[in-house]
Structure 1
Amino acid sequence: MTTLRTAPVTSPPSPSPGRRRVPAWARVLTVVVVGVVILSVTATLTGQYQLTSRGTTQAAVLLLLPILFAGLGGLWSERSGIINIGLEGMMILGTWGAAWAGYQWGPWAAVAGGIVFGALGGLLHAVATVTFNVNHIVSGVAITLLGMGVTKYLSTLLFEPISQNPRQSPRVEAFETFSVQPVADGLASVESQQRVLLSDVAGLLGGLVSGLTPLVIIGFALVPISYVVLWHTRFGLRLRSCGENPVAAESLGVKVATYKYIAVVTSGALAGLGGAALTLNPGQLGYLEGQTGGRGYIGLAAMIFGNWRPGGLLAGSALFGYVDGVQLRAGGEAVHGLLYGATILAVGLALLWAARRRWRAALIAAVAGAAVYAVYFSIDTVPREFAAYAPQLVTLLVLAVASQRLRPPAAIGVEYRRGEGD
């Protein structure tokens, strides 16, 4: 008679206290605190107090919304394995749909119109990529071109007789703004005292609790909602499995095509909501040809910067929105001040990596900091032409830095036909 020998069960070694992983919330909080301190020091030393003013933060919030919605749309689509480079076209469709519905029935109708028109673009992308297995990039580019052409035709047909301009819609009614009181007034009082760091924090926080609209609340709420749905529900697990291993998912009974359709249509609806945010922006209040300005692509970049996670996506959107808000509120001089802040950040990273004996990274950060400071020292202001493209430049730099730690879904962009796992 033989007996089976089993190895003794041992518990995995517990990590040593010195190597214990820092919680995600602590890392995020550290990054936020360091960023606020750098902005405060920069504003004090350069005299560019617009960098931390309430008005700049309010502008940044309004400008990050379209990017955030587009990025969330990309997140839903690409987590299911479908690359959605057509976010820009879906956002364009959303701007027109929001203007058309908003002109007739008000701001909430504009939100619904943007969602519906964006979802139609997402549905077209799903039909092309899921049903007919068209290359995802080709389909996305085609939808962007189609969105531009369709909205131009519809504007000429429906808006020109009213606005006398084929490139612009009539004015759309906006949402009323509100503030969180008495917090907003208290922060405004502290900001006016011009105390180093304290007033800067008050200005940044004040912009987050004043001049709000329902779209701002919806935008920030969709971040945790997307996280809970995609990472803490059966539906989300099945959807993400389609982007990681669709063959294994189908073998377990997951209807891969159905989940991909749901994800891509939701992606288009979110991008269309970003278009509605542009249409209802107090500075525009209507459709204007070309008003998306590449924000669909920037939203895609923010999603990649966030490593296909909602929290990182929000951080990327906030970064791009802030830079855009700074250049719109204060122009080239404030962007010039940001170069000084970038120098401080580069020096800090060089010292941190040197302390960890990561000499190559420390050298690169030191060289980059020296180059940025040389630019800062050699000019008095950033030319208007360059300042206007500051968000796009930040996009390229951030993606270059973040490219080493990215982990996209394993089966993203892979053409899949039902029954391949049989």
Structure 2
Amino acid sequence: MTVTSTRPDLTPPTTRTRRVPRWVWVVLIAMSVPLVAVLAETPDLTSEGLTGATLRFTVPILLAGLGGLWAERGGTLNIGLDGMMIIGSWTGAWVALSYGPWAALLGGVIGGAFAGVFQALLTQNLGVDQAISGIVVNMMAIGLVRFLSSVTFAEEPGGSITQSPTLEQLPLVSLPGAELVLGALAGQGILFVSDAAAIMLGLVTDVSVGTLLAFSLVPITWWVLAKTRFGLRVRATGENPAAADSLGVSPYRIHYLTQGISGALAGLGGAYMVVVASSLYREGQIAGRGFIGLATVIFGNWHPGGVLTGSLLFGFTDALRTRQEASVNALLLLGAAILLARCVWLFAANRRKESLWYGAFGLPVLLWYLFGDGVPSELVSIAPYLVTLVVLMAAHHTLRPPAAVGVPYRRSEE
């Protein structure tokens, strides 16, 4: 007698392909940059100076992204990151005037944390929609720092209602012997080897202590969220606050804590802007970096490593604005290569419809580079935001946000 198995067929369909990990694409893109620099005759793309600038532009976005990560893993949507960075930049500058740059970091943390707790108060106690409360924090921050500057910085020599006096910066550190070894390799003109040496030189020489502190928060965040009891409670609340509540974990307490941590990290990013990225507080210097930080959370699929990757990408494009115009034009070639390579890979994976979209964008970009007049200066200034849009469009298929993000929780309703 023949026995027919009732087990479901778990064999994947033949058209299904294994998804390439995102870090593989990042490595391939990083390796293609030296080739683009040679083909486009733009050595600045792999220079020590651009690497250092990338680090400085990356850190504020990274800290805002980590702040957004904490809030959303705990189940709350934090659109107020930009306002928290603004408040942190002002409080950091105000503290720095009297107590120096190290105290400025603490001042930024405290200022941002207060803003985060204020937003939690609006959402948890007053029932304000989470998106609306974020907008309130952003708008309130702009007016608040203008008023505070009028009664503080405007009274100081060299200050005004829109900026602080010059502030002391955090010290710079370098790896001993790096200039001797890596500098010699960077000057040899060997493809990949010299480029890698120049990039490494920018990573280990004249680096602010504040930069090292910011990057150390990435593994710390991962460890706390993934390996500690508190992190487990945060993740449980972000996925199912009712279930967490039934096990004795207060979602309200977690929301307050994660919003406070979120604001503290964003405020630290604001303080970084005034004692590392520049030497004073200036109105408008945050320039929407809180929103780009929120985009890195989505790009990074709500993981600290992904937030770091996204921050480096956006920081790189942001740093290019301050460099040679030819370097920005070279990005057209890099972008075309990435889009067309993705098109070919999807076509080979039998995902024809998706591949056509990438080809439809990649081919015009390549033609723009070959026959166009370069990137207009107006587009150069918005390059980080265009990259943000393109990356989020490309990454939306793999996103898996915490289930309870943005959903208000009321114990009486359960």
User: Structure 2 length as normaliser, TM-score?
Assistant: 0.93
Q: 2:57 maps to which residue?
A: 63
Contact 2:159 2:165 (C-alpha < 8 Å) held by counterparts: no
Q: 1:5 maps to which residue?
A: none
CA distance in 2, matches of 1:20, 1:182: 47
Aligned equivalent of 1:116, options 103, 110, 118:
110
**Superposition pairs for residues 313-392 of structure 1, below 5 Å?**
313-330=307-324, 332-392=325-385
CA distance in 2, matches of 1:257, 1:339: 47
Q: 1:89 maps to which residue?
A: 83
Q: Give 3-state SS (helix, strand or coil) of 1:208's partner.
A: helix
The aligned amino acid for 2:185 is V
Aligned equivalent of 2:235, options 218, 240, 243:
240
The aligned amino acid for 1:206 is L
The aligned amino acid for 1:274 is G
Aligned equivalent of 1:412, options 396, 402, 405:
405
* Structure 1: runs of 5+ lacking an equivalent: 1-9
Q: 1:42 maps to which residue?
A: 36
CA distance in 2, matches of 1:248, 1:133: 21
Q: Percent identity of the aligned residues?
A: 42
Higher alpha-carbon deviation: 95-104 or 155-164: 155-164
CA RMSD of aligned residues (A): 2.1
Q: How far is 1:184 from its partner?
A: 4.1
Aligned equivalent of 2:258, options 259, 263, 280:
263
Q: How far is 1:378 from its partner?
A: 3.3
Q: How far is 1:14 from its partner?
A: 12
Q: 1:197 maps to which residue?
A: 192
Q: How far is 1:377 from its partner?
A: 2.4
Q: How far is 1:23 from its partner?
A: 10
Q: Give 3-state SS (helix, strand or coil) of 1:266's partner.
A: helix
Once the two structures are superposed, residues 13-47 of structure 1 have per-residue CA deviations (whole angstroms, 9 ceiling, x without a partner) of 999xxx998996xx62x334312221011000011
Higher alpha-carbon deviation: 381-390 or 105-114: 381-390
Q: Give 3-state SS (helix, strand or coil) of 1:274's partner.
A: helix
* Structure 2: runs of 5+ lacking an equivalent: 1-6
Q: 1:4 maps to which residue?
A: none
CA distance in 2, matches of 1:22, 1:208: 31
Task: Work out whether 1:107 is the aligned partner of 2:106.
Answer: no
Q: 1:22 to 1:232 in 2, by over 3 A?
A: farther
Q: How far is 1:185 from its partner?
A: 3.3
The aligned amino acid for 1:291 is Q
Aligned equivalent of 1:276, options 245, 252, 271:
271
Q: How far is 1:191 from its partner?
A: 1.4
Q: 2:225 maps to which residue?
A: 230
Q: 1:319 to 1:147 in 2, by over 3 A?
A: same
The aligned amino acid for 2:119 is H
Q: 1:219 to 1:403 in 2, by over 3 A?
A: same
CA distance in 1, matches of 2:198, 2:11: 44
Q: How far is 1:103 from its partner?
A: 1.4
Once the two structures are superposed, residues 139-185 of structure 1 have per-residue CA deviations (whole angstroms, 9 ceiling, x without a partner) of 00000111111100000110011134210001110011111122343
User: Structure 1 length as normaliser, TM-score?
Assistant: 0.91
The aligned amino acid for 2:65 is G
Q: Give 3-state SS (helix, strand or coil) of 1:263's partner.
A: helix
Q: 1:131 to 1:184 in 2, by over 3 A?
A: farther
